[in-house]
Amino acid sequence: MLSMLFDIYVVSPAHRAKKSKVRREDEAMLSRVISFLGPDSEVRAISDSDIEGYKQARKRGECGPGGRPVRARAVAKDLVSLRTMLSWATRQRDSRRQFLLDYNPLRGVKLPVEKNPRRPVETYDRYLRLMEVVGDIDWRLPCAVALAESTGQRIGSILRVRREDLELDRLPHGWVLFGADRQKTGRENSVAIPPYVREVLLHHLAGLPEQSDGWLFPSERDMSKPVDVSVMSRYLRRAYELAGLELQRGSLWHAWRRKWATERKEMPLGDVAAAGGWKDHNTLLKSYQRPDQGTLVRVFLDAPKLYGEEGSTPNATPGRTEIAAGNRRIAR
């Protein structure tokens, strides 16, 4: 039965090894799918039509919190959690040394794909406008926004930075260490900061309460803990409103991470992935590095022409040469 497999899975070492937040999210998604399919359903009997029924019902909001319709990505995440649990069961043996499942009934089932995903990208001019007002909203917000814009790190990692993670005397302008225990990937990441962020950090440290217990962004209710992401997200939304900036649909803090990745499209992919904390290069390319006007113009106008082998000049850009020649003719 599905419910019995769920009970075994949630106490397994594989599931318990996940971070507590990830465990809670996985359990909520699994509970939602199992409730729809039926807790007493036979796992091996799950069919394509059952999964298709869940896809449609979930999209309509019939089996989610609040009854709100959701997009394809939310449905896919639910089904990935179910597929992960079933895949685990094909490798886990019972007391008789038999596998819990002899095959994964979701193997080969296509997950819903977002045709028009919302992946907004922030811009530096909007950052400058935000920085004019963020200090009026909350004393922690200027430093949090500056680090999000300049380091490309996830906001959850930024808000758990401690004073000892700062290396402001390290050349060229200082570094920030994002510890492995505070990263989604579980990998330690040390990031160099630009001069303007160094100034923001120094100003922030000068006003940091002594009772902050070393946290760079302490909670005001309990300074022995870092502030919650939801609190800073609420403040950031207010800052957008105060700055007269329209809040982009589909993202808040993550739009700054996409900005950071997009600005570095022409740099070596491996280095950008390492600096930003991406394990998968395809995720960086597909979900974070977005087309921008400047690059598109270069694609249209600056590409070299393709010649045959004889007399080829692969690095030439004839369009520019012809324009220059035309200008000379006009000058004469």
**Average of per-residue pLDDT values in the chain:** 86
Cβ contact 301:319 at 8 Å = yes
Decide which of 321 and 171 is more confident.
Answer: 171
pLDDT at 323: 45
pLDDT at 284: 82
Q: Other CB atoms closer than 10 Å to residue 115's CB: what's the count?
A: 7
pLDDT in tens, 16-53: 988 888 899 999 999 999 999 999 999 988 988 899 99
Greatest CA separation for the chain? 93
pLDDT in tens, 172-187: 999 999 987 776 666 7
User: Hey, which bits of 142-240 come out as E strands?
Assistant: 166-167, 175-178, 189-192
pLDDT at 312: 52
pLDDT at 326: 46
Q: Is 66 exposed, middle or buried (0-12, 13-18, 19+ CB in 10 A)?
A: exposed
Range in 222-231, 269-278, 304-313 with the lowest mean pLDDT: 304-313
Q: Of the segments 56-60, 128-132, 180-184, 287-291, which one has the largest average pLDDT value?
A: 128-132
